[in-house]
Amino acid sequence: MDFFPLLNSIRIALISTIAVFFLGIFFAYHISRANKVIKGFLDVFLTLPLVLPPTVVGYLIIRILGPNHPIGIFFQDLFGIKLVMVWWSAIFATVIISFPLMYRTVRGAFEAFDETLAYSGQTLGLSNTFIFWRIRMPYCRQGILAGTVLAFARALGEFGATIMIAGYIPGNTATIATTVYQYWRINNDEMALRWVIINIAISAVVLLAVNMLEKRNLTIRTKNAV
Amino acid sequence: MALVVDIKKTLPNFNLEVAFEATREKMALLGTSGSGKSMTLKCIAGIEKPAAGKIVLDGQILFDSNKGIDLPPQKRQVGYLFQQYALFPNMTVEENIACGTRQMGWIKRQKAVAAMVERMKLGGQEKKRPAELSGGQQQRVALARILINNPKLLMLDEPFSALDSHLRWQLELELIEVLESYGGTSLLVSHKQDEVYRLSDSVCVLNDGYAERKKPVRDLFEAPSTLSECLILGLKNISRARAIDDYTVDAIDWGARLSTNNVVPTCISHVVVKEDDLVFANGVVSNNITCMINQVIDDVTSTVVMLTTPGGGNGDSRLQIRVPKTYGASLNRSERLRLHIAPSKVMLVSQAK
């Protein structure tokens, strides 16, 4: 059996998650400290991909990166690269769509941090760097991990925007989701079912990981309420 | 360990204006919630910044708005025990206590932590996380972490407010021992006057951000001099007053003229009487107040009697006394009583800042 879709889906999800990991933490940290106006506006803007249909997001991305549009033309002319219809085009889609999950989860973790812990560290003489890495980050660690896992799961399961940007080219841009769609279209039930089961298995493992992390996070939080 | 504080800060609900000095004593800030007590501690610790003023500890200037000095909290050597202790949840007891040791070398640190664990009776708990400890153990770890480096000042922010009464008493007894052995200047913040009475030598009453003059604890309880001090002590029998001569006042709300033993100050605004000092007249004719019973309330060990003073200027004015339960059972609404106050027990109070 050709396992290309599996490998392709996983590499897209991994690369996408690494990008979203850093982007998510960066924005979550700075926006949680921003003033109300900036916070409100940016929050809506950055969360939008979560509530838009993936096909809408896909359409918007094509309008910016497509071969008939400014940025697409720029890259075509200058570097000879096509931004769409290659395997890594899907990464644009997965990053934009999974970013809100990481961002919101991590921001929640940062805002749930009890600032008194930082104050107490300061009065004890601990440096601000020590407080950030040894007290603030560990406290938010569960939230960061949970956000990462959620983003990975979402990237793995992306379909709507992916099929528009990267299309379905067997051995080149095919992912698990687009492969199932294709097998369904040509009435190959047996193959479709195989991929469905593979996808369910991976998703189940990912969700299990999220649940375990959430539970540990909750226990630490409630035990702290003296 | 002399502490000098003189700060001002404008806040949404009130204006903070606190000034006092304390030397090697157990001092308290007594006030209701929202009166600025925690904000004062945060300013002293360097977590918040006053708008103007100065804070000096042991000769070292921590903050001075005129000279542009504002030391970061790390350099102030002020111990701050937070209300919820703020123990670091991801570290063990040992690691938490070790956080208090700043520049010590590794060997010295291990020794200091071990000695502190011993002193605070935390033996056997070293590897546990804060979530696994009892309330008392958590307080001891929090104190250990602070005391391990001999801070110049120890501040305690309402140390018992989140606890039930049994645990509260136990922890209070432990804290008394800790304060005795610490021996430096300590600043306790509380809204409970009985705690302040037991745990401190001197006190400043805080009201809406304004700190009254610091005075010995006994003086505050025996002879409060301002209206806000009376209110924080829970005194209920208060009447507006006007001076008639050096030893007589007109208690306007009670409709009574009262002789006093103490000279009546010109700025007098109210008279106050403790519940216990309001007695039945029984034949005495001077310093009496005529009252009518409004409510009789059965309490745990006595009976509370609420009275109105028909002869007084303020229809809402109430007096409150306590009587033995057996006597209380025989009292009825609308009965008239005459109460007497001995001249030595009439407390004269001014509202002036």
Q: What's CA A174's distance to the chain center, in Å?
A: 19
Residue in A closest to B136 by C-alpha: A226
Give the pLDDT score at A217: 58
Is the pLDDT reported for residue B313 higher than 80?
A: no
If you average pLDDT over every residue of chain B, what do you get?
89
Give the pLDDT score at A211: 80
Give the pLDDT score at A34: 84
pLDDT tens digits for B127-183? 999 999 988 889 999 999 999 988 999 999 998 887 777 888 888 888 898 888 888
Average pLDDT of span A74-100: 88
pLDDT tens digits for A3-50? 899 999 999 999 999 999 999 998 998 888 888 898 899 999 999 999
Q: Please enumerate residues of A whose Cβ is less than 8 A from a Cβ of B.
A: 114, 116-117, 119-127, 135, 138-139, 220, 223-224, 226
Is A138 in contact with B90 (Cβ distance < 8 A)?
yes
Taking alpha carbons only, the member of A119, A113, A35 closest to residue B43 is A119
Which class for A226: exposed (0-12), middle (13-18), buried (19 or more C-beta within 10 A)? middle
Write the residue in B42, B74, B84 that is nearest to A226 by C-beta: B84
Dihedral through CA A168, CA A174, CA A178, CA A184, nearest 10?
80
List CB contacts (< 8 A) between A133 and chain B.
none
Taking alpha carbons only, the member of B152, B148, B150, B168 closest to residue B160 is B168
pLDDT tens digits for B278-288? 888 888 888 89
Write the residue in B74, B79, B131 that is nearest to A127 by C-beta: B74
Complete domains list, chain A, with CATH: 4-224 (1.10.3720.10)
Type of residue found at A35: N
Instruction: State whether residue B128 sits within 8 Å of chain A by CB.
Output: no
pLDDT tens digits for B214-225? 999 999 998 888
Instruction: State whether residue B131 sits within 8 Å of chain A by CB.
Output: yes
Residue in B closest to A124 by C-alpha: B100
pLDDT tens digits for B88-123? 999 999 999 998 886 778 888 889 999 999 988 888
Going by pLDDT thresholds of 50, 70 and 90, the confidence category of residue A220 is low
Which of B38, B39, B62, B74 to mutate to probe the A interface, most A CBs <10 Å?
B74
Q: What number does CATH give the domain B2-223?
A: 3.40.50.300
Beta strands in B141-287 (DSSP E): 153-157, 185-190, 202-207, 210-211, 215-216, 237-245, 248-251, 256-259, 268-273, 279-280
Give the pLDDT score at B1: 56
Write the residue in B47, B135, B138 that is nearest to A122 by C-beta: B47
Average pLDDT of span B314-321: 75
Cβ–Cβ under 8 Å, residues B232 and B30: yes
Which of A123, A139, A217 to mutate to probe the B interface, most B CBs <10 Å?
A123
Tokens standing for residue B81: 């025990």
Going by pLDDT thresholds of 50, 70 and 90, the confidence category of residue B47 is very high
Backbone phi, psi, residue A148, to 5°: -65, -45
Report the distance separating Cα A20 and Cα A101, nearest Å. Answer: 9
Which of B80, B132, B154 to mutate to probe the A interface, most A CBs <10 Å?
B80
Is the pLDDT reported for residue A222 higher than 60?
A: no
Instruction: State whether residue B196 sits within 8 Å of chain A by CB.
Output: no
Taking alpha carbons only, the member of B160, B241, B142, B141 closest to residue B198 is B160
Is the pLDDT reported for residue B33 higher than 90?
A: no
Average pLDDT of span B61-86: 93
Instruction: Tell me what percent of the residues of chain A surpass a pLDDT of 70.
Output: 95
Average pLDDT of span A198-220: 78
List CB contacts (< 8 A) between B80 and chain A.
119-120, 123
Is B131 in contact with A224 (Cβ distance < 8 A)?
yes
Backbone phi, psi, residue B4, to 5°: -120, 125
pLDDT tens digits for A169-186? 888 889 999 999 999 999
Give the pLDDT score at A219: 60
**What DSSP string runs through B31-85?**
E-TTSSHHHHHHHHHTSS--SEEEEEETTEEEEETTTTEE--GGGT-EEEE-TTT
Q: How many residues are given for chain A?
A: 226
Write the residue in B47, B75, B135 that is nearest to A119 by C-beta: B47
Residue B236 in 3-state DSSP? coil
Instruction: State whether residue B49 sits within 8 Å of chain A by CB.
Output: no
Report the distance separating Cα B270 and Cα B251, nearest Å. Answer: 8
Residue in A closest to B100 by C-alpha: A124
For chain B, what are the domain ranges? 2-223, 235-350
Tokens standing for residue B156: 């305690």
CB-defined contacts A:B, below 8 A: 65
pTM for the predicted model, two decimal places: 0.77
Write the residue in B79, B89, B135 that is nearest to A220 by C-beta: B89
Average pLDDT of span B228-237: 89
pLDDT tens digits for A96-149? 999 999 999 999 999 889 999 999 999 999 998 899 889 988 888 888 988 998
Is the pLDDT reported for residue B317 higher than 80?
A: no
Is the pLDDT reported for residue A226 higher than 70?
A: no
Instruction: Say which CATH topology domain B235-350 has.
Output: OB fold (Dihydrolipoamide Acetyltransferase, E2P) (2.40.50)
Average pLDDT of span B245-256: 89
DSSP assignment, residue A220? Answer: H
Instruction: State whether residue B136 sits within 8 Å of chain A by CB.
Output: no
Give the pLDDT score at A225: 44
Average pLDDT of span B300-320: 80
Is A124 in contact with B99 (Cβ distance < 8 A)?
yes
